[in-house]
Amino acid sequence: TDRKKLHTAPVGQVFRLRPLHVLVATGGGYAGYRKYEDYKLEQMEKRGIEVPVKLASEWEVALYKSVPTRLLSRAWGRLNQVELPTWLRKPVYSLYIWTFGVNMKEAAVEDLHHYRNLSEFFRRKLKPQARPVCCLHSVISPSDGKILNFGQIKNCEVEQVKGVTYSLESFLGPRVCTEELQFSQAPSGNSFQQQLVTKEGNELYHCVIYLAPGDYHCFHSPTDWRVSHRRHFPGSLMSVNPGVARWIKELFCHNERVVLTGDWKYGFFSLTAVGATNVGSIRIYFDQDLHTNSPSYSKGSYNDFSFVSNNNKEGISMRKGEHLGEFNLGSTIVLIFEAPKDFKFHLKAGQKIHFGEALGSL
């Protein structure tokens, strides 16, 4: 009679699985598994073993997309803005430096106590002499990183890594029919690739540069050119490391990206900054109206902005090596441009490159 009654509730009321919880748990676990697979592929590459191409199925891509990477990236961006106590800065930054192999001797300010938060540390400036700009070649690397792929574009398909392609039109979006871009007035029956070429005898070329978390996070103008137009594609923020780029076809078309198009002395020129997991924002210094990684967006949508106006007939003129923008963390830069047939790249796939070094020339 002294025993107390234990009141219980049905198990379903105590522990209730919600669809979002299932998606997050399943997607997160699968993302972890993919990270492990990527690590194994990287080890195979280091040993010189050729990695076979194995593309993700539609359900695998959908499952990966179920991970709330945009929400996590916004949270990461806010965390980066939190000011760290002075005593905590050196241990936190030292761990990051050790993990990703950051060379702080190149930084304009080597004292780790100087950086109030992670965001300032990620966007650290370099010493002027750390990245000399090559004057002998017409196109230089806009950033530090790893060369994933480069070469001539054929059949409107671009290689993101060896053996895995994406559609040129899906990546850049519909052709911008404005007089200021000086695109060729090609017949509508011609391919999208042919419509971008402005001069007879020219070809389209591309180069993909992957920025790892330990790389210098700013990017610069790769040549002297004129930026006429910006197109912003909201989208997913999946990882863009080489392992995932080898696994997901048209990865760069799925992810959020900012496409800058215009022209240089040989015709059409574009630079695209591709977002990725934990890249809370893509910033273009001269574009104050650009806002990336917004909480909501319409699938497949994009928005355009022209830098050519009645007051500014020339657009934005950029000099080779001039500061252009920055990422919050590592990501990818894709160059797509027109040049004569004798344009030659001075690169090897997989090589490390620094901002200012030569990409190619005539």
Is 48 within the bounds of a domain?
Answer: no
User: Are 121 and 161 found together in one domain?
Assistant: no
Each residue's pLDDT tens digit in the chain (362 positions)? Answer: 555 555 555 544 444 545 545 545 554 564 566 566 666 666 666 666 666 667 888 888 888 888 888 888 888 888 888 899 999 999 999 998 998 889 999 999 999 999 999 888 888 889 988 999 998 899 999 999 999 999 999 888 888 877 788 899 999 998 775 444 444 444 445 788 888 998 888 999 999 999 988 888 899 999 999 999 999 999 888 888 887 888 888 888 888 999 999 999 999 999 999 988 876 689 999 998 998 888 777 777 899 999 998 777 788 999 999 999 998 777 899 999 999 999 999 998 889 999 999 999 88
203 and 331 inside one domain: yes
Q: Distance between CA 133 and CA 354 in Å, rounded?
A: 10
Predicted confidence (pLDDT) per residue in 249-266, tens digit: 888 888 899 999 999 999
Catalytic residue check, 113 = no
Can you give the residue range of the structural domain that contains 102? Answer: 71-130
Q: Concatenated DSSP letters for 224-279?
A: SEEEEEEEEE--B----SHHHHHHSTTHHHHB-EEEEEEEETTEEEEEEEEP-TT-
Is 332 domain-assigned? Answer: yes
**Any domain includes 104:** yes
Q: Mind listing the pLDDT tens digit for each residue in 264-293?
A: 999 999 999 998 887 668 999 999 899 888
| Shared-domain flag, residues 267 and 319 | yes
How far apart are alpha carbons 23 and 64 in whole angstroms?
Answer: 10
Within a domain: 184: no
Task: Report pLDDT for 179.
Answer: 43
The CA distance from 342 to 95, in Å, is 46
101, 146: one domain? no
The answer to whether residues 315 and 341 belong to one domain is yes
306 in the same domain as 245 = yes
Catalytic entry in 217, 220, 229, 232: 220
CA distance 297 to 233: 10
Work out how many domains the chain is built from and give that number. Answer: 2
In 23-38, which positions are buried (b, 16+ CB within 10 angstroms) versus exposed (e)?
Answer: ebeebeeebeebeeeb
In the prediction, which pLDDT does 26 show? Answer: 53
Give the per-residue pLDDT at 53.
65
Query: Which of 144, 215, 263, 287 is the catalytic position?
Result: 144
Residues 157 and 290 in one domain: yes
Residue with tokens 């179920």: 66
Are residues 85 and 214 both part of a single domain?
Answer: no
Say whether 287 is catalytic: no
Q: Is residue 2 part of a domain?
A: no
Q: Quote the pLDDT of residue 61.
A: 84
Q: Among this protein's residues, is 2 annotated catalytic?
A: no
Residue 290 lies in a domain: yes
